[in-house]
C-alpha cells in the first residue's frame, strides 16, 4: 500500500501498517493512515464523514461527567478539570477555571479561543467569557492546560463549562 505525506507529498510504501498515526521522515508532519478494506469501506465512509463534520463543528465538554461522556467529540476537546475560587485584591471572590484542551485527532490543529460559560442549576447561561489559550497549535494527541480567572460572577452559578470558540452555544439556553 502506498501512503503519501499530506504536507510534502513524499510517498512511502508499506505492507505492515494497517492504520494509525504516521510521521513523515522528510518533513515531520504526522497524519492518520487508514487502510481501507472491502468489509469496512462503508464504515470508513462514515468515519471520514464524521471527521469532516467534526472539523467543522468544534466540540464541548461539560463539567458534569455524565454530560461529558455523551458530548459529540471533535478533533479538539475542551474539558474543565477544576473549578476553584480565589479572592482578589478588592476582596471579591473570583472563580478560577482550570482544564485541558486535547487534540484527539491525528492532525495538527490550531487552538481556537475558549469560551467559559457559567450556567445556573437549570442550565441557563448566565455569563460567557472568551479568552485565548496559551498554545496556538496543538500536535496530534497533544494536550494543553488552561487556567483562567473569571470576572465577577452573578449569584447562582452552578455549572462551568468550556467551549471552543467555533462552537455555537445553543440559543435556547439563554432565556
Ligand atoms: Zn512530509
pLDDT digits (tens, 9 = 90+) for 27-60: 999 888 876 655 556 666 777 776 666 555 444 4
Domains of the chain are: 2-53 (no CATH), 58-174 (2.60.40)
More confidently predicted of 134 and 23? 23
CA of 48 to the centre of ligand 1 (A): 21
- What pLDDT, on a 0 to 100 scale, did the predictor assign at position 87? 85
What is the grid cell recorded at 48?
471520514
The Cα-based distances of 34 to 17, 37, 122, 172 in angstroms read: 9, 9, 43, 39
The Cα-based distances of 88 to 82, 92, 94 in angstroms read: 18, 6, 7
- What pLDDT, on a 0 to 100 scale, did the predictor assign at position 27? 94
Give per-residue pLDDT as tens, 101-120. Answer: 888 888 888 888 888 898 88
CA of 139 to the centre of ligand 1 (A): 15
Per DSSP, the residues of 102-143 read EE-SSS-EEPPPEEEEEE-TT--EEEEEEE--S-SEE-TT-E
Are the C-beta atoms of residues 159 and 62 closer than 8 Å to each other?
yes
CA of 119 to the centre of ligand 1 (A): 45
* Predicted confidence (pLDDT) at residue 158 exceeds the cutoff of 50: yes
* Predicted confidence (pLDDT) at residue 127 exceeds the cutoff of 50: yes
What is the grid cell recorded at 67?
454530560
CA of 31 to the centre of ligand 1 (A): 10
CA of 33 to the centre of ligand 1 (A): 13
Which residue, chain included where needed, has cell 449569584? Answer: 155
- What pLDDT, on a 0 to 100 scale, did the predictor assign at position 8? 94
- What pLDDT, on a 0 to 100 scale, did the predictor assign at position 174? 41
Query: What pTM, to 2 d.p., does this model score?
Result: 0.51
Q: What is the mean pLDDT of the chain?
A: 76
Amino acid at each position: 500500500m502506498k501512503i503519501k505525506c499530506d504536507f510534502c507529498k513524499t510517498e512511502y510504501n508499506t505492507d505492515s501498517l494497517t492504520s494509525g498515526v504516521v510521521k513523515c521522515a522528510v518533513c515531520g508532519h504526522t497524519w492518520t493512515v487508514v487502510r481501507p478494506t472491502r468489509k469496512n469501506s462503508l464504515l470508513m465512509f462514515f468515519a471520514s464523514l464524521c471527521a469532516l463534520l467534526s472539523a467543522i463543528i468544534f466540540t464541548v465538554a461539560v463539567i458534569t461527567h455524565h454530560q461529558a461522556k455523551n458530548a459529540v467529540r471533535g478533533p479538539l476537546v475542551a474539558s474543565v478539570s477544576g473549578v476553584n475560587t480565589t479572592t482578589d485584591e478588592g476582596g471579591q471572590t473570583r472563580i478560577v477555571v482550570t482544564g485541558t484542551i486535547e487534540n484527539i485527532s491525528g492532525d495538527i490543529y490550531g487552538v481556537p479561543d475558549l469560551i467559559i460559560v457559567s450556567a445556573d442549576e437549570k442550565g441557563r447561561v448566565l455569563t460567557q467569557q472568551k479568552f485565548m489559550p496559551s498554545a496556538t497549535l496543538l500536535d496530534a494527541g497533544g494536550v494543553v492546560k488552561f487556567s483562567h480567572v473569571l470576572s465577577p460572577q452573578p449569584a447562582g452559578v452552578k455549572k462551568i463549562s468550556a467551549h471552543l470558540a467555533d462552537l455555537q452555544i445553543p440559543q435556547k439556553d439563554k432565556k
